[in-house]
Amino acid sequence: MYTITASNEIAENIFEIWVEAPHVATHAQAGQFVIIRVDETGERIPLTISAVTGDRVRIIFMAVGKTTHALAGIQAGEDIADIAGPLGKPSEIEKYGTCVLVGGGVGIASLPFIAQSLKKADNRVIGIIGARSANFLILEDEMRSICDELCITTDDGSKGFHGFAADILKELNNTRKLDAVWIIGPTIMMKVTAEVTREKKVQTFVSLNPIMVDGTGMCGSCRCRVGNETKFACVDGPEFDAHAVDFNLLMQRQRMYTEMERISLERFHEYTCTSREEQ
Could you please report the per-residue DSSP string of 55-98? TEEEEEEE--SHHHHHHHTPPTT-EESEEEEEESPPP--S--SE
Query: What does the pLDDT average to over 247-262?
Result: 72
Closest CA to 48 of 100, 99, 113, 104: 113
Residue 181 reports pLDDT greater than 70? yes
Residue 270 reports pLDDT greater than 70? no
Kindly state the helix (H) or strand (E) to which residue 11 belongs, with its residue range: strand 2-11
CB atoms within 10 A of CB 126: 22
Q: Using alpha carbons only, what angle is made at residue 14 by residues 131 and 133, rounded to the nearest 5 degrees? A: 25
Cis peptide before 186 (omega within 30 of 0): no
pLDDT, tens digit (0-9, with 9 covering 90-100), for 138-154: 999 999 999 999 999 99
For residue 88, list its beta bridge partners: none
Query: What per-residue confidence (pLDDT) applies to 233?
Result: 87
Query: What per-residue confidence (pLDDT) applies to 106?
Result: 94
pLDDT, tens digit (0-9, with 9 covering 90-100), for 113-125: 999 999 999 999 9
Q: 263 or 141: whose pLDDT is higher? A: 141
Residue 253 reports pLDDT greater than 80? no
Closest CA to 137 of 105, 107, 160, 169: 105
Residue pair 21/84 in contact (Cβ under 8 Å)? The answer is no
Flag the least confident range among 14-18, 82-86, 213-217, 261-265: 261-265
Closest CA to 14 of 191, 177, 136: 136
Structural domains for the chain: 2-87 (2.40.30.10), 98-254 (3.40.50.80)
pLDDT, tens digit (0-9, with 9 covering 90-100), for 154-163: 999 999 999 9
